[in-house]
Amino acid sequence: MTTATNQERAGSVRSALDKVRPGASPPDLLGMTATERARWWAGLTPTEQVSVGLAFPEIIGVGQGLPASVRDRANRLLLDRDLAQAQAVVTLGDRSDDARRTLRNAQSVRAGLVKAQQTAPGAAVTLYAYDPHAFGEDGKAVVAVGDLDSARNVAWLVPGAGTEISTTPGNVQNAADLYKQAGGELGDVAVVTWIGYDAPSGADLGAIVGTGSARDGGRMLADDIGGFIAAREQLGVGDDDHLNLGLIGHSYGSTTVGWAGDNGRLSGALDTVTMLGSPGAGGVATADEFGIGARNVFVGAASDDAIGHLGGATSTTGIGGLGIDPATTAFGAQRFRAEGGDLAPVVGNHSSYFQIGSESLENLGRIVSGRGGDITRENRRSVADVVAGQLSGGRRDPAVDSRKAGR
């Protein structure tokens, strides 16, 4: 790069920062609201945008309110840098846990991006957020399959306990499979896998019996959704005519979704909420509390999913205070059929909701594509079902009768 080019780029960066306020410094970009940042970015020239992205990828990559394509370019720069630097350090003989963990985390994200391209060839794949050191080195990665800047039907998947950046490939596989099920290959669909909170995992797995991680994660999720909405609105594709936005929480991720939507916090942003294999609905006691209408809140709960039977008959009786069982009549959501899959030890049919060919994935595809009225419905659990199951240590569910009847 020539001196003249360096000077020109520095000048572009300076002029871009001055559009925040005269004399602004890079940290000032972090102090803006998502809406302010979206407007600032839209007011930059193409040259200024490129220059800022190259100069401050750490800031642009996490910039709430910025277009997904812009964040993707910045985060891929960071990922490539981390892969090269971490590999060099390890090759030179640094076998420390930190060096190897950084390399493994970066490699997991790279593998997730490759997995998305392999599963959904031709789809846009976006690295929306990336931080291999977040949450005590558990890491953060948010990956989208489909055009996140323009797709009308957008779903964010929130995984549960055991999730960290090393699980990126498997979680991206779920997103890519749902993208295809929802008709993404025909366009207008994007599915995000959100590894964006400190889910209980590893030595901290015991936190699953408490609400702390879900509460904190809910706040982070709401912030990320707000940033996404701000970017879409600035692009002119954020209103009801251009965006059908849904959240899908699996396992402890459903509890996190419940806290994200506490007190109708996301009522102006969301069109649908879906809870899968939920151990409790977190901060909401009824589907109506999301503020989007109970008809737009969905629940998938396999009868032989042990985790999905941990929720309480009320919002205060769930295991570890995780909340009410959202598959109950008292909660008031629409329950869809989600039977099938291979049973796993202890947890039963808890990890097959995204299994290709399953009732659950078919219904999720309908919800994501705006056809929630076409789900195959399942009877909801009664309070008696929940109480009897908790008292006996067993499980009672009307879905068992449906399965026996072949319905």
Q: What is the pLDDT of residues 69-116, one digit of tens each?
A: 999 999 999 999 999 988 888 777 766 778 888 999 999 999 999 999
The closest alpha carbon to 257, from 278, 228, 236, 288, belongs to 278
pLDDT of residue 1: 47
Q: Band the pLDDT of 402: cuts 50, 70, 90.
A: low
What is the reported pTM? Answer: 0.94
What is the Cα–Cα distance from 40 to 32, expressed in whole angstroms?
9
Q: Band the pLDDT of 254: cuts 50, 70, 90.
A: very high
Alpha-carbon distance values, 321 to 212, 263, 281, 307, 380 (Å): 10, 17, 10, 14, 21
Q: Band the pLDDT of 403: cuts 50, 70, 90.
A: low
Q: What is the mean pLDDT of residues 214-231?
A: 97
Q: What is the mean pLDDT of residues 182-188?
A: 88
What is the Cα–Cα distance from 216 to 268, expressed in whole angstroms?
21
The closest alpha carbon to 132, from 89, 200, 86, 193, belongs to 86
What is the Cα–Cα distance from 237 to 231, expressed in whole angstroms?
9
What is the Cα–Cα distance from 266 to 269, expressed in whole angstroms?
5
Cα dihedral angle (55, 57, 59, 65), rounded to 10 degrees? Answer: 110
Contacts (Cβ under 8 Å, ≥6 apart) of 338: 276, 300, 301, 302, 353, 358, 359, 360, 363, 378
Q: Using N-to-C axis directions, what is the helix angle for 46-55 and 3-18, rounded to 10°?
A: 100
User: What superfamily in CATH does domain 118-402 come from?
Assistant: Alpha/Beta hydrolase fold, catalytic domain (3.40.50.1820)
